[in-house]
Chain A
């Protein structure tokens, strides 16, 4: 390769797939690679964040990448002044989002250090108290969001409002409630990043120290020393297991043979012990069924609480396994003992001076790490689940007004266009005329849906332009597993043995039959002992981790969900392979080596 040719293509040379012409029109101007800025944009390295956004955006769904990148950036740049790192810039290209970390100029780093010490130091020193306060704030926001109700505008303003001299109509509340929902989503995303990068920074420090002491220590060994065993992220799955046990204890298993969740629940009400089980089920639902089988970032995400058939499928599987004599509960005592053993054995290999440093760094890592896992339940699953439920309610309400003809129509509008629609609806209602949008949106939504479908037919480029000589941005390394080595893997360097190379996410070696999944809807296809191969996994896939042999993902670092859950379940995992889900086909026999980070196709 000659020095002049960039490793990855320029955004400006990428063609949209057929049928996606004019895709730029469905996204706001500020997320596009604008022709006027070509020289500047081509000078930066962009990587596709398919870990968080594996499929193209519907216009409304860009709200999540807007708020997420802004939240990440504000904490690095304005709250904490992380010395070397500002935020991560983002652009949408052919429906996929590309990220580019914004570093701090080397000459400005020094000056930020005192501020960082004061600000971040305060968080580390007061972690538990601040975190307790965080939970209170987040719960309050969720409660406020949950209370929002969207109702169609009435035929006439309530007579009581007239008599009490309120002077305002129902459209006033409609606007406020929509704005409140967006405002609360924005608030939640800011909270999301309040602790996150601090958690990662302390962990990276611990990680680097251990790599200095033991250059060959596996990444997963370090992760195992700090990982919690009672993370709230595992609670939804644990609740299902408890419900499965209860069903077996009460002799209710035959009821669960029906294919319909409604039939099962109705049937249970008539059985002895059924009422008690139903009470436990109701108890578990709130909040633990606020759990998505996606990652919370898409309007298409399905939450358990809205789709009871999803947890019911897992539950039925657990009942079958209990009856087959499997132990399904996570052995938390054993996991904890194992964590202590690993920690003690590495510690013993250090000298006294190193041990003292180790103790201090381990202590901080263990203090901060639960947030890294737990926040995911509170924000992505619970809070965003409530947000999406409210937005779906609004979309349906507006469909009923004739603005579009499908329940998901609103998600093909941007969040600001939705405000225009609310105006259209309010004005027409007030004036006593028909909606302008009724003759505009159905056709426009069809066009946009066609574009999004066409965009999805083409995979994204892993990156754009030239990577820097070394990746130094700490959060890029931690969150996305992007290092100089992983970039080499993307362009196919260093793979002479035909094996796929990724990160050693969770230890162990397993051979088995691959099952390639592209969407959570396919989870039911997984057979016991198969190797799960997928672009990216979400925590809510936990129930299937009890029956697979290993996991392989295209995207993700040592702290990716797949790696965390696999370590928890004691399964091998190789993450960040780049393209395993396209190179491996369902039915192939593969060998997953979670120690070396390789996947070999055997036949």
Chain B
């Protein structure tokens, strides 16, 4: 991939030290790519591009002006200011050297390849980064002009009302949060979903829980369909539990129109499992591998690409640390662990199978 290393950075060139320049999402894609995990190829538009935009167009001053004196508690005022900023960002041309770098990198992906354009904010040190920068994603974007436009839209999304309000309320200087943008080859998802490397219901780390549905994974994430649900034993890699659901709609790419469309799933496919058992295990293996690589339980987005051969068609789209259970302190057993002979006496007096 042809990237300039300054404004654009190929996923396979992103290292740990690039986090501040590419944001959490792209950094994770880069790490996965380099660890040999199958990830759709792509590049990051670095925060240098965003900063060049702010500096060269005078946007930085404009933003400060719009927000100056706005009462963070006055939602309407905040909304008006945020909207004005977004319009201003979309109203400026991207600096020519940044735009040229994006066009070069995109062209090197093969002409007018459909891509996903995803925002990747640099706010990873914040406990709940997803609110600090609105995580906009544009799917099935096609053609260099459209890509450039969506990159700018992602930058603008940093000033979504909700994001601005969050920063104001938490006294996070707006200039502390920058925006990188990932441009990634679109997956033609036959089925997709999420995998958690622990059981989200009870925090059980011996389980991997998978939600899967037809088409792109957005329907699963947004909760529009009830996905097929699998529970896989993490060590033995055995499917312990499966619930096959009625998956009535799917989101698929329309390459001609350059967007995604929702369509009804035909009767026959609805109640059919969208993954084979072997694919369930492959997804679980992927989640387990990403947990090991990152050193903590992960929340993984994945897809099965319809255009790739079996065995190479499972792709990781994103992996981030699981936040809910991982931040909870484990309940200490009420009594300290029994050990030695007294433990055996305890076991005999109250063996496991006797418990209700």
Q: Tell whether A84 pairs with B348 under 8 Å between CB atoms, given A215-B204, A216-B207, A217-B206.
A: yes
Q: Tell whether A205 pairs with B233 under 8 Å between CB atoms, given A211-B352, A216-B204.
A: no
Question: Could you tell me if B337 and A83 are in contact, using CB atoms closer than 8 angstroms?
Answer: no
Question: Could you tell me if A471 and B352 are in contact, using CB atoms closer than 8 angstroms?
Answer: no
B341 proximal to A (CB < 8 A): yes
Question: Could you tell me if B344 and A120 are in contact, using CB atoms closer than 8 angstroms?
Answer: yes
For window 333-356 of chain B, which residues contact chain A by CB distance below 8 Å? 333, 337, 339-356
Question: Could you tell me if A216 and B206 are in contact, using CB atoms closer than 8 angstroms?
Answer: yes
A406 proximal to B (CB < 8 A): no
In the complex formed, the residue of A with least CB distance to B242 is A596
User: Measured between alpha carbons, how far is A215 from B240 in the docked complex, in Å?
Assistant: 14
CB neighbours of A212 from chain B (8 A) = 333
Question: Could you tell me if B236 and A204 are in contact, using CB atoms closer than 8 angstroms?
Answer: no
CB neighbours of A116 from chain B (8 A) = 345
1/0 per residue, CB under 8 A from B, across A338-369: the answer is 00011001100101011001001100000000
CB neighbours of B349 from chain A (8 A) = 83-84, 109
In the complex formed, the residue of A with least CB distance to B234 is A345
- Distance from B71 Cβ to chain A, minimum over Cβ atoms (Å): 47
A121 proximal to B (CB < 8 A): yes
1/0 per residue, CB under 8 A from A, across B174-209: the answer is 000000000000000000000000010000111100
Q: Tell whether A349 pairs with B205 under 8 Å between CB atoms, given A221-B233, A483-B354.
A: yes
For window 235-251 of chain A, which residues contact chain B by CB distance below 8 Å? none
Question: Could you tell me if A507 and B236 are in contact, using CB atoms closer than 8 angstroms?
Answer: yes
B171 proximal to A (CB < 8 A): no
- Distance from A306 Cβ to chain B, minimum over Cβ atoms (Å): 39
User: Measured between alpha carbons, how far is A514 from B234 in the docked complex, in Å?
Assistant: 30
User: Measured between alpha carbons, how far is A82 from B206 in the docked complex, in Å?
Assistant: 34
B238 proximal to A (CB < 8 A): yes
- Distance from B189 Cβ to chain A, minimum over Cβ atoms (Å): 27
User: Measured between alpha carbons, how far is A202 from B341 in the docked complex, in Å?
Assistant: 9
CB neighbours of B343 from chain A (8 A) = 205, 209, 361
User: Measured between alpha carbons, how far is A477 from B347 in the docked complex, in Å?
Assistant: 12
Question: Could you tell me if B240 and A221 are in contact, using CB atoms closer than 8 angstroms?
Answer: no
CB neighbours of B234 from chain A (8 A) = 345
CB neighbours of A478 from chain B (8 A) = 351
Q: Tell whether A472 pairs with B341 under 8 Å between CB atoms, given A346-B206, A349-B205, A507-B236.
A: no
Question: Could you tell me if B352 and A207 are in contact, using CB atoms closer than 8 angstroms?
Answer: yes
For window 348-392 of chain A, which residues contact chain B by CB distance below 8 Å? 349, 351, 353-354, 357, 360-361
CB neighbours of A214 from chain B (8 A) = 204-206
Question: Could you tell me if B235 and A474 are in contact, using CB atoms closer than 8 angstroms?
Answer: no
CB neighbours of B330 from chain A (8 A) = 351
Contact partner of B233 among A109, A218, A361, CB < 8 A?
A218
Question: Could you tell me if A83 and B205 are in contact, using CB atoms closer than 8 angstroms?
Answer: no
B239 proximal to A (CB < 8 A): yes
- Distance from B240 Cβ to chain A, minimum over Cβ atoms (Å): 5
1/0 per residue, CB under 8 A from A, across B137-163: the answer is 000000000000000000000000000
- Distance from B339 Cβ to chain A, minimum over Cβ atoms (Å): 6
- Distance from B229 Cβ to chain A, minimum over Cβ atoms (Å): 15
The number of residues on chain B lying at the interface, defined by a beta carbon within 8 Å of a beta carbon of chain A, is 35
A393 proximal to B (CB < 8 A): no
Q: Tell whether A83 pairs with B345 under 8 Å between CB atoms, given A221-B233, A595-B233, A595-B239.
A: yes
A208 proximal to B (CB < 8 A): yes
Contact partner of B347 among A204, A216, A357, A508, CB < 8 A?
A204
- Most chain-B Cβ atoms within 10 A of its Cβ — which of A121, A124, A361, A484? A361
CB neighbours of B206 from chain A (8 A) = 214, 216-217, 346, 349
For window 201-225 of chain B, which residues contact chain A by CB distance below 8 Å? 204-207
Q: Tell whether A354 pairs with B240 under 8 Å between CB atoms, given A208-B351, A215-B204.
A: no
Question: Could you tell me if A208 and B347 are in contact, using CB atoms closer than 8 angstroms?
Answer: yes
Question: Could you tell me if A342 and B207 are in contact, using CB atoms closer than 8 angstroms?
Answer: no
In the complex formed, the residue of B with least CB distance to A477 is B353
In the complex formed, the residue of A with least CB distance to B356 is A470
Question: Could you tell me if A117 and B239 are in contact, using CB atoms closer than 8 angstroms?
Answer: no
- Distance from B223 Cβ to chain A, minimum over Cβ atoms (Å): 25
- Distance from A439 Cβ to chain B, minimum over Cβ atoms (Å): 55
CB neighbours of A361 from chain B (8 A) = 339, 343
Q: Tell whether A124 pairs with B235 under 8 Å between CB atoms, given A82-B348, A85-B348, A484-B356.
A: no
In the complex formed, the residue of A with least CB distance to B347 is A205
CB neighbours of A345 from chain B (8 A) = 234-235
Question: Could you tell me if A471 and B354 are in contact, using CB atoms closer than 8 angstroms?
Answer: yes
A102 proximal to B (CB < 8 A): no
CB neighbours of B199 from chain A (8 A) = 216
A397 proximal to B (CB < 8 A): no
- Distance from A214 Cβ to chain B, minimum over Cβ atoms (Å): 5
User: Measured between alpha carbons, how far is A204 from B353 in the docked complex, in Å?
Assistant: 9
A113 proximal to B (CB < 8 A): yes
CB neighbours of B344 from chain A (8 A) = 120, 201-202, 205
Question: Could you tell me if A472 and B350 are in contact, using CB atoms closer than 8 angstroms?
Answer: yes
User: Measured between alpha carbons, how far is A207 from B355 in the docked complex, in Å?
Assistant: 13
- Distance from A106 Cβ to chain B, minimum over Cβ atoms (Å): 10
- Distance from B201 Cβ to chain A, minimum over Cβ atoms (Å): 11
In the complex formed, the residue of A with least CB distance to B233 is A218
CB neighbours of A471 from chain B (8 A) = 353-354
Question: Could you tell me if A474 and B348 are in contact, using CB atoms closer than 8 angstroms?
Answer: yes
Question: Could you tell me if B348 and A201 are in contact, using CB atoms closer than 8 angstroms?
Answer: yes
User: Measured between alpha carbons, how far is A208 from B240 in the docked complex, in Å?
Assistant: 21
Q: Tell whether A117 pairs with B347 under 8 Å between CB atoms, given A342-B235, A345-B235.
A: no
A509 proximal to B (CB < 8 A): yes
User: Measured between alpha carbons, how far is A483 from B356 in the docked complex, in Å?
Assistant: 10
Question: Could you tell me if B354 and A477 are in contact, using CB atoms closer than 8 angstroms?
Answer: yes
- Distance from B349 Cβ to chain A, minimum over Cβ atoms (Å): 5
User: Measured between alpha carbons, how far is A484 from B354 in the docked complex, in Å?
Assistant: 7
Question: Could you tell me if B236 and A218 are in contact, using CB atoms closer than 8 angstroms?
Answer: yes
1/0 per residue, CB under 8 A from A, across B236-264: the answer is 10111100000000000000000000000
User: Measured between alpha carbons, how far is A472 from B277 in the docked complex, in Å?
Assistant: 38
User: Measured between alpha carbons, how far is A355 from B341 in the docked complex, in Å?
Assistant: 18
User: Measured between alpha carbons, how far is A174 from B333 in the docked complex, in Å?
Assistant: 64
Residue numbers of B with Cβ under 8 A of A are 199, 204-207, 233-236, 238-241, 277, 330, 333, 337, 339-356
Complex A-B: 8 CB contacts under 8 Å? A82-B348, A121-B341, A204-B352, A214-B205, A218-B233, A221-B235, A507-B233, A509-B277
Pairs of residues from A and B, 8 with the lowest C-beta to C-beta distance, nearest first: A477-B353, A208-B352, A205-B347, A472-B354, A483-B353, A474-B351, A357-B337, A345-B235
Other A-B pairs beyond A201-B348, A345-B235, 8, CB < 8 Å: A82-B348, A204-B347, A204-B351, A346-B235, A472-B354, A484-B354, A484-B356, A595-B239
